[in-house]
Amino acid sequence: MKKEAILALEDGLVFRGFSFGALGEACGEVVFNTSMTGYQEILTDPSYKGQMVCMTYPLIGNTGVNRQDAESTRPFVEGFIVKESSRIYSNWRATEDLGSYLKRNRIVGIEGIDTRALTKHLREAGAKKGVISTKDLDARSLVQKAINSPSLLGRDLIKAVMCKKAYDWNTRGKFRVIAIDSGIKHNILRNLEKRNCRVRVVPATATKDEIRSFKPNGLFLSNGPGDPEALPYLVDTVKELIGVGAHGHAPLPIFGICLGHQILGRVFGGKTFKLKFGHHGGNQPVIDLDTGRVEITAQNHSFAVEVDSLSDKNMQVTHINLNDKTCEGMEHKKLPIFSVQYHPESAPGPHDAWHHFDRFVEMMNNAKTHRH
């Protein structure tokens, strides 16, 4: 027999459904994801720390779960919301069903609710704090718990998802890359490795001297959860590394993705702000202002860089979201520094933007050539 579960939002909206996954109670900001596939990659994306994800596609779980599609060591979502969870799975790589996977990782899930109504509400009212519970079934009590739960604004969540000490992702490659881990996805590391990079992953709290001791050819700033305004220590470290290049050393090529893009925005005097309901899914259209080319992109972010706020006029916007005209990419006119707000590594999502990794490698190659 199915166990009852309730999803309650801070504004009083309540959905009654059934539990799948772990029993218990969880809170987080409720967002919706428009990807039709790739639920395992979404669950294991550390950028979802602090959030509960509602999948807009109605049937989730029909390909089960496997080891290869994980984007980190475990799921980081606070809760999972679907219309229907498939108990039966069919995929040659699958090792278990989605419900068992969530149970094993203590992730609370709810199914059987009207996910279209929830998505419509979040689009109109904006992302809301919420609670999923299988133990407290009093709607009024849960709404109050949602109101009292912490907001994403002002929260540093990367310390909960980053590696605790530096490690080598791989040990061979022409280009030595330091990847600052604010919640990095494995497919980013795979893409760098594929392009002849030897990648050392360091926690987001690593100092300028720790990073430079590796003698990197390039610096990668990863995706991650929470509010970029709460990360002055990371902004300061990146500023110091750029400043070293400005004082006699060869400038270090830098590539930022998602939170890494927002950090660079703040480094160059920009402001970041919270989007109404964020961009989460695999079908966001982005235009390259230089070429006019449109890429369909995978995205997962709740904050964005304010286009007109960049005080350093050497930093220019290169990509714009065609849905809401927010900033999706930047580059420095003089230094080998660029960033994108979206996820070129996909996993899940389209592969339109893989070329950004090639550009990063080209920058490191040019920097190497100039040194010799």
Residues classed as catalytic:
258, 343, 345
Q: Which helix (H) or strand (E) element contains residue 278? A: strand 272-288
Degrees (nearest 5) of the Cα angle 176, 181, 184?
100
Distance, CA of 57 to CA of 47 (rounded, Å)? 20
**Do residues 223 and 260 touch, judged by C-beta distance below 8 A?**
yes
Which residue, 276, 286, 266, 288, is CA-closest to 342? Answer: 286
* Crossing angle for the helix pair 259-267 and 232-246, to the nearest 10 degrees: 60
Do the beta carbons of residue 63 and residue 97 sit within 8 Å?
no
The Cα 291–Cα 287 span in angstroms is: 8
Beta bridge partner(s), residue 52: 30, 79
- What does the DSSP assignment read for 127-158? -EEEEEESS---HHHHHHHHHHSPPSTT---G
